[in-house]
Amino acid sequence: MSAFEADDWARTQAMPAEEEIRRVRRLITRVKSDLDDLTPEDRAQIEQAVDVVRRGRTVLLGMPRVRQSLPDVRPPGTAV
């Protein structure tokens, strides 16, 4: 398989299906609607909880990092 074919295959597998996108959009709409129905106190509690969760997680986007191998510090001629 050529590199170009592999890229197309990987891209196709990584993309969400249209139905998945529609379900997520419906969920977002429903959550936003439900938030509008909350009392100001309940809404403040949810916003505080969201802030706590956001502070507790880290998201790194982009290429994964690969650790560099450690240098071999053994003197020449020693057994492994």
pLDDT (tens digit, 9 = 90+) per residue, 50-71?
Answer: 888 888 776 666 666 677 777 7
pLDDT tens digits, one per residue of 14-64? 888 889 999 999 999 999 899 889 999 999 999 999 888 888 776 666 666
pLDDT for the residue 16: 84
Could you give the CA distance from residue 77 to residue 3 in angstroms, rounded to a whole number?
42
Q: Kindly report whether the global pTM for this prediction surpasses the value 0.95.
A: no
Contact 60, 49 (CB under 8 A): no
Q: Where are the domains of the chain?
A: 3-53
Q: Which residue has the tokens 């938030």?
A: 35
What is the per-residue pLDDT for 22?
A: 94
φ/ψ of residue 25, rounded to 5: -65, -40
Q: What does the alpha-carbon distance between residue 33 and residue 22 come to, in Å, rounded to a whole number?
A: 17
